[in-house]
Amino acid sequence: MSQNIFIIGASGFVGSMLARHFLANGQRVLGLARTDSAEAALRTAGISVIRGDLDANVAPVLAAARSAAVTIYAAQVAFEREPTIIRTLCEALAGSGKTFIFLSGSGVFMQRTGGAWSSDSFAEDDPFVPEPLALPRVEAEAIVRAAAEHGLRSMVIRPPVIWGPGDNGPVASVYRSVAVTGAACYIGSGLAAYSNVHSADLAQLFALVVERGQAGALYHAAAGEIPYRWIAEAVARDLGVKTRSLTMDEATEVFGPFGALLLSACSRSRDPRTRSDLGWLPTQFDFLSQVGEPRLRALASL
């Protein structure tokens, strides 16, 4: 059955992927555009456009959310802004019985291991010590889940690293490190690992959550995990270069402060609720299948 799906963040990597998935399955997709260029890109993709801004011009955003059957929040904004934005949306939709899905991420329980492996992994409702930078996102998750007590079918999806066509994730970062250092770089021992999921499998999870997700629930999506050192070794083989271990200070110079933080951290997730309650099963598991893509190889020579 066709329904209106409003995607906040429809021009981003995840939002655009979701828009394509729902359009291909016969849904009418509306996307938020803040700029003329974003509007043009959305229209070219066949997405109906809502012009507005989450800060300066929120009224059209709230009106679109109220009119749509499903609202998906996949915007990428500074963490500290998320609780206010999410609270405003949830309050505007309270009592409507509509579906609201918040895209979070497994960075909320990321562990700063300096490149070392951690034995800890987290299922949907396991307790964890939040990553300090992600505390506002943890607050936003809580707002969404609590909104289910106020007449909103609100849910959180918390994926790990998302890979697929056009992604700008860890493999891209390692290729860029070759351009900077001449070697495929990892940090410390390189054994830290983030769980991962392919974008097509994540899109299927969103569709299942729209169809049968439970109000107030939190869903994970993990198809596998791979240490950063293995990524560097695969890129090194592809380009015929050596690998190199970086200290945290060196990594900050190569990857930038935030990149160094992510590429040295462990964030391992499990998804028992998602699989048992929704029947979600990923189909793409080979994270290293990206290695050798021309778009990625080009990053090594920038």
The one-digit pLDDT tens for each residue of the chain (302 residues) are: 668 999 999 989 999 999 999 999 999 999 999 888 889 999 998 899 899 889 888 999 999 999 999 999 999 888 999 999 999 999 999 999 999 999 999 999 999 999 999 999 999 999 999 999 999 999 999 999 999 999 999 999 999 999 999 999 999 999 999 999 999 999 999 999 999 999 999 999 999 999 999 999 999 999 999 999 999 999 999 999 999 999 999 999 999 999 999 999 999 999 999 999 999 999 999 999 999 999 999 999 86
Residues 131/110, Cβ–Cβ less than 8 Å: yes
CATH 3.40.50.720 residue spans of the chain: 4-110+120-161+196-220
Q: What's the N-to-C CA distance of the chain in angstroms?
A: 47
Which of 38, 33, 145, 6 has its CA nearest to residue 86? 145
d(CA 235, CA 190): 14
Matching CATH number, 4-110+120-161+196-220, of 3.40.50.2300, 3.40.50.1970, 3.40.50.720, 3.40.50.300: 3.40.50.720
d(CA 183, CA 281): 36
d(CA 163, CA 27): 24
Pairing mode of beta strands 70-73, 161-163: unpaired
d(CA 291, CA 79): 31
d(CA 79, CA 173): 22
Query: Structure pTM?
Result: 0.95
Q: List b or e across 58-80, with b for residues whose CB sees 16 or more CB atoms inside 10 angstroms.
A: eeebbebbeebbbbbbbbeeebe
Contact partners, residue 81, CB within 8 Å, separation at least 6: 54, 55, 136
Type of residue found at 11: S
Residue 137 C-alpha from the chain's centroid: 13
Give the 3-state secondary structure of residue 239: helix
With 0-12 / 13-18 / 19 or more C-beta atoms within 10 angstroms meaning exposed / middle / buried, residue 288 is middle
